[in-house]
Structure 1
Amino acid sequence: MTHNTPLSPRPLRHLSEAHRRVLTAAQLRAHGVTAAELTEQCRPDGPWRQLLPNVVLLHSGRPTSEERLHGALLYAAREVAPGVPPQPTAGSPHRPLYRETMITGLAALAVYGFSAATPAPPAERVDVLVPRTRRLRSTGYVRVLRTSALPTPRVVSGLPLAPVPRAVADAVADLTNAETVRRLLTEAVRGGHCEPAAVVRELTHAKLLNRPHVVDAVDSLVAEGRSIAEDRLYRMVGEYGLPDPVWNVDLRLPGGPHLGGLDAYWPDQAVAVELDTRAPRQDEDALWSEYARKREHLERLGITVVHITPKKLRDTMEQQAAVVRTALMASGDRDPAAYVVVLPR
């Protein structure tokens, strides 16, 4: 058999170009390649080479980055029962090739386009995420990471990737350079990939917040997230024609206690906006109780408080503007609010 011999009468048009260059031994058998023929093709001077156990590169040159990623997924994917090819669905287009696995860590972040995602040692290692119950070993350039609950992957360029927050946490677990960690976390938020809360939840779950360089990066991340959310709030007021509020103020009762800080306040209408940028590493229940107490206190004084999350500002800005506009318009139908002192924060 020569390397120009067709693989089988079964066409390969359903595979991408990279898929056609990297196949498992089982896929090759399904295309008519016998075990003896496979051994012959993968001899030291042969036209093919074994990329990973049971994964074959259909040329003898150096694998491309895309081929390495597809090879890692093929190695880690759960085999499909013979004769029962799984069907793709709209939600999981990767399932015909890659069941119960996805790329995570720096390799996934590189596919997402992170400029801060540099190859991990050993060079260009690829981390794959699989269920904890899978019996699979790390080998070659592939490191197997296990999880009790496999997240829903995002498919980018035909590759199933761990969601950005999970990929960031898996990458940070190996990083000791504080600047690299800070850059990754900042890029995740500034690049619009996710909100700070999602990243910090994953870091908390991975028990990484006992590392000083990670804690420092998280503090910067939360500050970065608040700054971005504030910019979006300014933009929402301007773009959707809302009246100008007073920004970043503290409210107090005359001669009385401090009522709390607000991101935006319309004194004439007694309407306030508060950005919900809770840091997940704090006790969320306790912190939410603090938010709720402040809101209830202000509303007893006749002040309407609109809570907006950074994610809602990013994804549904027009809807959030409509909520604020409705609160402003409804102010005329309410009893006058108590008099409060407005101070810069």
Structure 2
Amino acid sequence: MKRGKWADDPALLWQVAVNGVIKSTALQELGVAGSTVTARCRDGGQWQRILPGIVLLHNGVPSQLQRCTAALLYGGDGAVLSGHASLGAHGYAPSGSMSGVHVLVPPERHRASTSFVTVERTWRMPDGVMRGSLRCAPIARSVVDAARRARHADQCRALIASAVQRGDVSVDELAMELADGPRRYSAGPRSVLAELGTNAHSVAEIDAQKLYAKSGLPAMVFNRDLFTSDGSFLARPDGWLDEVGLAWEIDSLAHHLSPADHEATVLRRALLRRHGVVVVEHLPRTILGAPAMVLADLRSDYELARSRPRPKLYLRDALAA
């Protein structure tokens, strides 16, 4: 026979649970007998043990929110999500490596990694940032923790570049976070931050800069504000060859999906051309798949730019001088 408050009010369990997830000890406090929990968590039962001591109040596939909730309950008071799970809660796109949930706990707490949860004991417990019902590490910590565990350099590069491009965190903030943490598994993120130190804001631009270094053309600067002679802001091209007034634009489709973004790109390039700028445009896949053609385009347009008077446009530093 059922005994306890929950027998008279079954909805009480869901009210006490967080996102349908509840500790076994909380069930006991509500009067749910251990034998009842065991019976309901058997194969084919109404509930399931999603983690040791943690029960999910249905027998279907748990959502990512429920997995993260269970991981935090398993981690205990003050536990904080980090890595990809935290970034997902911060609004980042899902990642193929989000199957595991990374949880930070204080060093004195003994929790073993289990099932889909990776538990990290750390002296550097961050202040939790609430995202809905989930306690998450700040974005800089989440990005660095995810980057350390990236399996491939491209994954690490895309993750860090995405965070910087969104404006959620700066290269300096990531560098400080990386420097404060352990050196283990830090080679990949350190390499990417060194690349981003040249002011590249996306994976496509990093690839472009690497290719341009092989062109034999004069030095190009990237993501610098361009002004007219009266000091008015004109644009911020992806790349700018100041010697001849040539702009290089990388059409990364991932960042121009909305009609508004596409229209802004078209208007910016039309404005550059009206001011006499030679604009070279390439897709990221062309830079990777046809580098010889891209270099030929750059050299050809460089000669075109040299053949006409340089437009009276200036970088901020040059204007100030």
TM-score range, shorter chain: 0.5 to 0.7
Residue 210 of structure 1, CA deviation: 8.0
Percent of residue pairs bearing the same amino acid type: 28
Residue 101 of structure 1, CA deviation: 0.4
**Aligned equivalent of 2:197:** 222
| Change over 3 Å in CA distance of 1:75–1:177 after alignment to 2 | same
**Equivalent of 1:244 in 224, 231, 239:** 231
**Equivalent of 2:103 in 90, 105, 128:** 128
- 1:154-169 to structure 2, matched below 5 A, reads 154-169=129-144
CA RMSD, 1 decimal: 3.5
1:182 aligns with 2:182: no
1:23-71 per-position Cα deviation (integer Å, ceiling 9, x unaligned): 0001111222111211121122211111100000111111111111111
Residue 144 of structure 1, CA deviation: 0.3
Unpaired stretches in structure 2, ≥5 consecutive residues: 202-220, 234-317
**Equivalent of 2:179 in 189, 194, 204:** 204
| Change over 3 Å in CA distance of 1:192–1:344 after alignment to 2 | closer
**Equivalent of 1:152 in 121, 127, 135:** 127
Equivalences, count: 215
Unpaired stretches in structure 1, ≥5 consecutive residues: 78-98, 247-341
**Aligned equivalent of 2:205:** none
Residue 107 of structure 1, CA deviation: 1.2
**Aligned equivalent of 2:96:** 119
SS in 1 for 2:74: helix
Q: TM-score, normalised by structure 2?
A: 0.58
Give the whole-Å Cα distance in 2 for the aligned partners of 1:179 and 1:220. 12
Give the whole-Å Cα distance in 2 for the aligned partners of 1:7 and 1:20. 21
Return the structure number with greater helix share: 2
**Aligned equivalent of 2:148:** 173
**Aligned equivalent of 1:104:** 82
Give the whole-Å Cα distance in 1 for the aligned partners of 2:50 and 2:137. 23
**Aligned equivalent of 1:26:** 25
Contact 1:42 1:49 in 2 (8 A): yes
What letter is aligned with 2:136?
L
| Change over 3 Å in CA distance of 1:113–1:343 after alignment to 2 | closer
| Change over 3 Å in CA distance of 1:20–1:215 after alignment to 2 | closer
Give the whole-Å Cα distance in 2 for the aligned partners of 1:12 and 1:207. 41
